[in-house]
């Protein structure tokens, strides 16, 4: 089986920022993403816990695997957005074996 290098971008953001990130993902043509709900951890702002009284401060992880041009558009588009919210973003190269699943589709096309 042959593989191809793509980019995996991971966002750990406040749940309240998720609708905006979904809009950006659609705008740049990302084919899909995975959301891991209620992420907890510890960092610059101290400990973030899951299952507090409300989910207002919950963090989520959003994982996107896409081609390099789409990942660059995504990171560029999110540069200002991520500065306005608590969160981190990082990316790594990954090998994928189903290349067609990760190539950008025209913006706005959800099928």
Tokens of 17: 């920022």
Task: Examine the pLDDT at 111 and tell me if it is beyond 50.
Answer: no
Q: Taking the CB of residue 110, how many other CB atoms lie within 10 A of it?
A: 7
Residues 6+ apart with CB under 8 A from 72: none
Q: Please, what is the average pLDDT of the chain?
A: 82
Report strand pairing: 4-14 vs 59-66.
antiparallel
> What pLDDT score does 43 carry?
72
> pLDDT for 16-34, tens place per residue?
889 999 999 999 999 889 9
Exposed/middle/buried for residue 11 (C-beta within 10 Å: 0-12, 13-18, 19+): buried
User: 17, 39 in Cβ contact below 8 A?
Assistant: no
> pLDDT for 51-72, tens place per residue?
656 666 788 999 999 999 999 9
Paired residues of 13 in beta bridges? 60, 87
As a whole number of angstroms, the distance between CA 22 and CA 83 comes to 16
More confident residue, 62 or 49: 62
Q: Which of 92, 97, 69, 70 is nearest to 4 (CA)?
A: 97
């Amino acid at each position: 089986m042959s593989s191809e290098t793509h980019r995996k971008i991971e966002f750990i953001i406040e749940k309240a920022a998720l609708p905006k990130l979904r809009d950006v993902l659609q705008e740049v043509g990302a084919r899909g993403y995975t959301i891991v709900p209620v992420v907890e951890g510890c960092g610059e702002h101290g400990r973030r816990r899951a299952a507090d009284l409300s989910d207002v401060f919950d963090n989520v992880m959003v994982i996107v695997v896409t081609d390099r041009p789409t990942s660059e558009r995504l990171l560029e588009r999110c540069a200002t957005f991520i500065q306005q919210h608590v969160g981190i973003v990082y990316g790594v190269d990954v090998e994928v074996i189903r290349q067609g699943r990760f190539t950008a589709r025209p913006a706005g096309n959800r099928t």
